[in-house]
């Protein structure tokens, strides 16, 4: 069957399902064209009118790209279940953003996260930093992200379609371009809802079929462990020991794995605590603070629990079914072709196309927002009308699509691209948090941290001892430490941001933290206090998400009683979180 499908033998039913899905995505997106063309705010942040459930679903859909199940399968096959703490640790960050930073972003009422730099800082240094951040995030960070998304789709096309992958990708990008170009963010988020639903149906269907074929949860665990213990394959060689395949935590005797795990849950998550990127774009687009916080909560639950286990089931099963693969990132599409009959194969292909389209459309719109707001309008055409800026946005969307194709052509590893991008920004992580928390942070300090981060992140890769994926934690920590020291040092050695500018920022955003001199000048500003309730809410969110993640996983791996106990703990933590949210004071839309 693999050979037949790889030769392009998708039957009529498969092709009909795929065509119907693509037509539906295009139709829904184009139907929103009138809502996205009225102004720049409508085009890039949907008129700041998104409800929490639509904004949160759009966040999840964007993070659910066609490349993601491929990378997850590779992690499971080469590092075991515990290798996923690389991204599971992000739940701590997203929960922190929900309580501590999402309200600040929403009060800022901006179009891009780079724009906050001139709101917070002052003068030519702030303007230059904003311009650089806009270019960096649009062209480098966003370009790399779209590159690995296209690479994942290219690998799926190689395995499943039998069509020339370059033409397949070109056609899909043009499809996403059509509704993103016309409808802006409204077209993106509404199609995201359709595409996420379809993507989940496809991934759950494949996982259920695979689980049934292997004899249920107990059979899945037994056969995967047996294959890892006996197969003379890349899978067995990649794991530190076969019994690590289904372990949640690293072995107590593996010092390297333990250090890596500690790094993930104690250090790396800081990088997402502030928020940023397309997540912040969705926060800007929500109706008010409450909707922003609830959008992040729904995203965190869906991102780490709802969408995770269908991929992990297939990845674990692939160890038993496909013990030897030259490229472990091909495990997922190969399992698709192996297990799905015609009709269901078309549904699965359509679901991955939907996941791909949702991610590409977001990144086209988001990347273009930097080019238009932070570069074109800020430096070239400050007096441009909304109509002109919307036209510029559409041109920028086309440019982002071309950039994505060029980057994807030069990539060969999805996981490697993930790691590289996180290292690039590591040096500015803590300084970015201090922008909100400490009045003395300034534009020169943040610029120095970012420059140090870019230089060191690329420099350490030239050191042989720090090359390769295994040295990722050491590289990240080196970039983080040096960037923070340089950034804070430069901030203290240069003049502070003028008082009147700090006062305007303080009154608008109402930041918490070390703002003593500024707060003393503005005694009438009642800053919402993030004391015990917010800390309790943060802890309950993290506990609920991890308990649910473990609970669902234990049930699917045949350890039913432990799984049910963990699920009960998740429900209890969720009930406590609901009480915290009901009593939490959110600032109304437009306040501040």
pLDDT at 317: 94
Q: Is the pLDDT of residue 433 over 80?
A: yes
Q: Which of 319, 349, 347 is nearest to 333 (CA)?
A: 349
Give CA separation, 492 vs 446, 451, 479, 520, in Å. Answer: 11, 17, 20, 21
Q: Is the pLDDT of residue 181 over 80?
A: no
Q: Which of 440, 459, 438, 457 is nearest to 449 (CA)?
A: 457
Split at pLDDT 50, 70, 90, the class of 40 is confident
Q: Is the pLDDT of residue 352 over 90?
A: no
Split at pLDDT 50, 70, 90, the class of 255 is low
pLDDT at 404: 75
Q: With respect to CATH, is domain 2-87+94-424 assigned 3.40.605.10? A: no
Q: Encoding tokens for residue 75? A: 């992690």
Residues ≥6 apart with Cβ < 8 Å to 136: 450
Give CA separation, 373 vs 133, 181, 245, 365, in Å. Answer: 12, 16, 47, 12
Q: pLDDT tens-digit profile of 132-165?
A: 999 988 888 887 777 777 777 777 776 666 667 6
Q: pLDDT tens-digit profile of 233-242?
A: 444 445 656 7
Q: What is the pTM of this model?
A: 0.85
| Residue 520 CB coordination number (10 Å) | 8
Q: What's the distance, CA 186 to chain centroid?
A: 19
Q: pLDDT tens-digit profile of 283-294?
A: 989 988 889 989
Q: Which residues of 201-211 are buried (b: 16+ CB within 10 A; e: fewer)?
A: bbbbbbbebbb
SS3 category, 37: coil
Strands (E), 387-433: none
pLDDT at 30: 72
Q: Identify the weakest region by mean pLDDT among 338-342, 464-468, 545-549.
A: 464-468
């Amino acid at each position: 069957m693999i050979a037949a499908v790889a030769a392009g033998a998708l039957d009529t039913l498969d092709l009909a399902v795929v065509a119907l899905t693509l037509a539906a995505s295009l139709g829904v997106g184009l139907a929103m064209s009138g809502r996205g063309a009225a102004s720049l705010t409508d085009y890039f942040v949907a008129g700041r009118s998104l409800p929490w459930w639509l904004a949160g679903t759009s966040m999840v859909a964007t993070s659910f790209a066609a490349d993601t199940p491929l990378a997850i399968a590779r992690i499971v096959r080469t590092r075991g279940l515990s290798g996923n703490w690389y991204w599971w640790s992000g739940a701590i960050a997203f929960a922190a953003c929900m309580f501590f930073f999402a309200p600040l972003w929403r009060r800022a009422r901006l179009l891009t996260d780079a724009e906050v730099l001139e709101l917070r800082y002052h003068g030519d240094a702030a303007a230059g930093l904003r311009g650089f951040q806009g270019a960096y995030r649009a062209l480098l960070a966003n370009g790399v992200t779209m590159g690995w998304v296209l690479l994942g789709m290219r690998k799926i096309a190689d395995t499943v379609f039998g069509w020339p992958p370059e033409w397949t990708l070109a056609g899909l990008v043009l499809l996403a371009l059509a509704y993103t170009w016309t409808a802006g963010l409204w077209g993106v988020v509404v199609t995201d809802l359709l595409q996420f639903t379809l993507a989940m149906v496809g991934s759950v269907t494949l996982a259920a079929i695979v689980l049934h074929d292997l004899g249920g949860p107990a059979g899945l665990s037994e056969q995967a462990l047996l294959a890892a213990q006996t197969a003379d394959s890349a899978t067995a060689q990649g794991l530190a020991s076969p019994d690590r395949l289904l372990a949640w935590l690293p072995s107590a005797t593996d010092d390297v794995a333990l250090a890596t795990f500690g790094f993930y849950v104690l250090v790396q998550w800081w990088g997402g605590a502030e928020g940023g990127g397309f997540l912040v774009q969705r926060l800007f687009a929500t109706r008010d603070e409450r909707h922003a916080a609830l959008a992040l909560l729904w995203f965190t639950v869906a991102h780490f629990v709802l969408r995770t286990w269908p991929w992990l089931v297939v990845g674990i099963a692939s160890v038993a079914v496909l013990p030897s693969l030259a490229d472990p990132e091909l495990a997922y599409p190969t399992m698709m072709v192996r297990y799905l009959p015609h009709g269901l194969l078309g549904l699965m292909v359509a679901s991955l196309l939907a996941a791909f389209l949702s991610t590409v459309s977001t990144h086209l719109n988001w990347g273009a927002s930097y080019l238009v707001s932070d570069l074109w309008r800020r430096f070239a055409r400050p007096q441009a009308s909304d109509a002109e800026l919307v036209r510029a946005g559409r041109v920028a969307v086309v440019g982002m699509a071309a950039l994505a194709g060029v980057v994807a052509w030069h990539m060969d590893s999805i996981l490697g691209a993930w790691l590289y991008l996180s290292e690039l920004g590591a040096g500015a992580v803590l300084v970015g948090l201090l922008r909100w928390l400490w009045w003395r942070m300034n534009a020169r300090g943040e610029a120095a941290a970012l420059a140090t981060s870019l230089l060191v992140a690329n420099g350490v890769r030239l050191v042989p001892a720090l090359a390769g994926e295994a040295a990722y934690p050491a590289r990240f920590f080196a970039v983080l430490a040096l960037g923070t020291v340089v950034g804070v040092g430069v901030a203290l050695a240069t003049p502070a941001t003028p008082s009147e500018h700090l006062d305007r920022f303080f009154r608008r955003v109402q930041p918490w933290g070390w703002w003593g001199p500024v707060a003393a000048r503005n005694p009438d500003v009642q800053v919402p206090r993030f004391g015990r309730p917010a800390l309790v809410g943060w802890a309950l969110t993290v506990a609920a998400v991890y308990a649910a993640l473990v609970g669902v996983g234990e049930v699917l791996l045949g350890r039913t009683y432990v799984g049910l106990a963990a699920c009960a703990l998740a429900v209890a933590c969720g009930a406590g979180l609901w009480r915290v949210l009901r009593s939490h004071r959110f600032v109304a839309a437009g306040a501040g």
